[in-house]
Structure 1
Amino acid sequence: MPKRDSTVRGREFGAGIRAAIEKAGLTGRGASQLAGWDPAKLSDLMNGKGGISEHDLIRLLGVCRTPLEESDHLVTMYREAERSGWLQIHGERSPGWPRTLGENEKVATELICWSLHLIPGLLQLPDYLRALIEGNPNSPAKEADERVAARTARQQQLINRRCAMTFFIHEQALHLPIGSPELMSDQLDHLLTMGIRPYITYRIVPTSIGAHAGTAGSFTFMKFDKLESVVFIDAENHGVYLDDKASIEAYSRILKALDQTALGVEESKELIASIIS
């Protein structure tokens, strides 16, 4: 397989290769030597750029003594790695922290989130998320602690990295009562507190403008240093990753339109403060 542009599928495959090497107790250089590869070849593979044949892959997995089930999974991923876009169906409900999302957030240089109905997940207080879980028939109460912990870990990972994050939030999300009035007040106050951080920006799209560019639904636009951008759409029991040129251009136009209609940073803070009071 010739080298290619890195895709979401390709990077997930690369992460799986990296994990297989680590489980074998090897370094990248050590695995390369045992497989008879140039280390740069393995580096490209782990970064989702391909450059190997299926025979090469099977040889590497043999060197790593990868269990048969995981080996078959990686071979299947290898065959699909060039495909753009990815619909991941998770059964009855999506996991609290999908692995693919985590791998992409780990290396993203900027996240731009559009939230139509709710406070964005990365800005939610634990009790706000708990209230959402309680209202969802597909999210068992026994999983609440696990999901809250996963969300908190996601938030902390991005904060620790000081990843640039911009949130466009529709005004209706500020008024939709989730939990008690006290919880909503705490949640809005949390928005103001998070906005103090220089790498976090949020802007409110006012209800008064009526129809707007984001009516199709919420999404997250992830930018990277040396990789193409990715759009992530989260749904009840599945997630969609888009990385083809047409999709990226379409969602870029939506963000540009939201930027033109949203309130400025200070106006947004004033609106939130007025709702709290």
Structure 2
Amino acid sequence: MPKRYSTARGREFGERLRAAIAQAGMTSRQLADLLGRHEAKVSDMVNGKGGFTLLELAVVLGICRVPEPEREFLLSLSPATELNGWWQPYGKCAPVQSHTARTNLAAAKTLISWHPHAVPDLLRTADYARAVLAASATVPTTELDERVRALHEMQELLRNGLDCTFYAHEFALELQVGGRNKHIAQLQHLMRMANWKKIRILIVPAAAGAHAGMAGPFTQLTFPKYQPLIWTTTENSSLFVEEEHAVEGYAAVVQALDEISLDEDQSQKWISRRCVRLQESDGAEDEIREDEDEPFPPL
């Protein structure tokens, strides 16, 4: 069955409008009666399918007493619900949680994620996540607890039967974040997660050298009813890519990473060996000792 046309903007518009209507205690039938329209028309509106005017939307938002910030957001988003792709600039730093990412993650059937520099967000322990956030130059320290909780809420979506494949570079797992003990705990967590039925963790070895994923991290989501999308983030923005050929380009990167990565068994053994080495050492091998530093060679 062909997948129906849907966009990230349209899905978010529909979800947030449905939430506003539910919070007001209204039903589609009641709204249809108040608007003097067929219930099917209201159904199209709340599912982000279009076919309504801004005036009709404004009336619905007024009936439901939607607060001004959300009302303005929905009114501004409404004309763009059929547009492919969505760049979301945030200002100085990203929000505590991306509503768009959460909405699409909850609806997804499969997830493929690539992380060259750090442990994938959805596989991080609370201590690891906190250490990453604390090192940020833009995240307020007063938001650390809230952001860790928000990440945990996103991680809980993995329990909904989502089929996940995480590609991570060897260097990303070697990087010590939060100190030696927290590094060990993070690797142990990865070993546990790798035993979940629907989670695969594959390591791209350093020996592979240059590779197709050097442009940076991204996440590919596919859906039972919608076309796939790519989600990628910067320091203070998110980009949701939906254009068909662009998505195919990322799929080609995934295929190339799969060809050079260790398989599941090899990846688990690599993580286990690294964890054992850290546990057996006294931490001295991980310290940078000033008297052992060698000067850079002359240019």
Query: How high is the TM-score relative to the length of structure 2?
Result: 0.86
Q: Cα gap change, 1:68/1:186 in structure 2, threshold over 3 Å: closer, same or farther?
A: closer
Q: Cα gap change, 1:266/1:53 in structure 2, threshold over 3 Å: closer, same or farther?
A: same
Specify the alignment match of 2:143 in structure 1: 143
Q: Cα gap change, 1:274/1:34 in structure 2, threshold over 3 Å: closer, same or farther?
A: same
Specify the alignment match of 2:8 in structure 1: 8
State the distance in 2 between where 1:37 and 1:220 align: 40
Q: Within 5 Å, which residues of 2 pair with 1:193-272?
A: 193-272=192-271
Gaps of 5+ in 1: none
Q: Which is greater in Rg?
A: 2
Specify the alignment match of 1:84 in structure 2: 84
**Counterpart secondary structure, 1:103:** helix
**Which deviates further from its counterpart, 258-267 or 132-141?**
132-141
Shift of 1:86: 1.1
Percent identity between the aligned chains? 38
Specify the alignment match of 1:19 in structure 2: 19
Q: Cα gap change, 1:262/1:32 in structure 2, threshold over 3 Å: closer, same or farther?
A: farther
**Counterpart secondary structure, 2:133:** helix
**For residue 92 of structure 1, what is the amino acid of its counterpart?**
K
**Counterpart secondary structure, 2:117:** coil
Q: Cα gap change, 1:195/1:29 in structure 2, threshold over 3 Å: closer, same or farther?
A: farther
Q: Within 5 Å, which residues of 2 pair with 1:59-70?
A: 59-67=59-67, 70=70
Matched residues, number: 273
State the distance in 1 between where 2:41 and 2:195 align: 43
Q: Cα gap change, 1:87/1:203 in structure 2, threshold over 3 Å: closer, same or farther?
A: same
Q: Within 5 Å, which residues of 2 pair with 1:124-143?
A: 124-143=124-143
Q: Within 5 Å, which residues of 2 pair with 1:37-76?
A: 37-67=37-67, 70-76=70-76
Q: Cα gap change, 1:258/1:42 in structure 2, threshold over 3 Å: closer, same or farther?
A: farther
State the distance in 2 between where 1:24 and 1:55 align: 19
State the distance in 2 between where 1:46 and 1:191 align: 39
Query: How high is the TM-score relative to the length of structure 1?
Result: 0.92
**Counterpart secondary structure, 2:192:** helix
Corresponding position: 1:99 with 2:99: yes
Shift of 1:153: 1.1
Corresponding position: 1:172 with 2:171: yes
Task: List per-residue Cα deviations over 1:123-169 (Å, max 9, x = no partner).
Answer: 0000001111221121222211111111111111322x121111011
State the distance in 2 between where 1:81 and 1:99 align: 16
Q: Cα gap change, 1:174/1:65 in structure 2, threshold over 3 Å: closer, same or farther?
A: closer
